[in-house]
Amino acid sequence: MITPMSRLETLKILQELYMYRSFGFTYYKKREIMPQKPNVSIPNSLDELKKNVHGCFLCALCKTRKNVVFGEGSLHAKIMFIGEGPGACEDTQGRPFVGNAGILLTKMIENVLKIKRSDVYIANIVKCRPPENRTPTPEEANMCRPYVFKQIEIISPEVIVALGGTSYRYLTGDESGITKVRGEILEYKTAKLIPTFHPSYLLRNESAKKDAYHDMLKVKALL
């Protein structure tokens, strides 16, 4: 992907062109200036990764965020829940799933799976809040996804629960709707992946809760 040139890069090129002109050149051979991939190194420890993510300015979401929402939970979690991106409460507190959807997710974890929220790991595809809670764009997801992939690699959970269609699509690249794929047990990296409805959707659609409940029972059975 080709990213837009930063002001500094533009200035450097202009400076170089002025220098050539002062030497008498009238023609400048085009050369590859932009790296094809963003030059970002991804550390292998969660603490280092967190530091990197807190200093991330790779996409425009950094301009409107109050806080980066890296993710939280146990380093030894057997289950990882992955949402799409922080909402207003999460942006304010810098923690994932702490608003109304988070309260429901916590109930699903504690009342159905019968484990403490602090024993699982909770993260999102994008780590900064999309304005007005819109769906993260493919560009934003592409920039941020290496972080969630690294979180998965480090935590190495047995089961990953993709919360909602956006999370499922950006994790797998599969465009199928969540209604079609929810509850399936899929092979994903070294884990099983179970897509289910997003808790925000469940808050708006009471009747979908029983499906989500059955999905959670499948998660429980896998452990």
Q: Which residues bind ligand URA (CB under 6 A)?
A: 83-87, 90, 96-97, 101-102, 124, 200
Order of strands across the sheet with 79-83? Answer: 72-73, 121-124, 79-83, 159-163, 191-196, 186-188
Per-residue tokens: 204: 């708006």
Q: How far is the CB of 209 from ligand URA (least distance, A)?
A: 17
Q: Which residue, judged by CB position, is nearest to ligand URA in the bound state? A: 83
**8 A C-beta contact, residue 80 and residue 188:** no
Select 124 or 151, whichever has its Cβ closest to ligand URA.
Answer: 124
Q: How far is the CB of 221 from ligand URA (least distance, A)?
A: 25
Q: How far is the CB of 127 from ligand URA (least distance, A)?
A: 10
Select 3 or 93, whichever has its Cβ closest to ligand URA.
Answer: 93
The label of the residue with tokens 């603490």 reads 47
Q: How far is the CB of 182 from ligand URA (least distance, A)?
A: 15
Q: Give the chain's length.
A: 223
Cα separation of 174 and 78, whole Å? 24
Alpha helices, DSSP H, located in 156-208 = 165-172, 178-181, 199-204
Select 84 or 192, whichever has its Cβ closest to ligand URA.
Answer: 84
Select 124 or 196, whichever has its Cβ closest to ligand URA.
Answer: 124
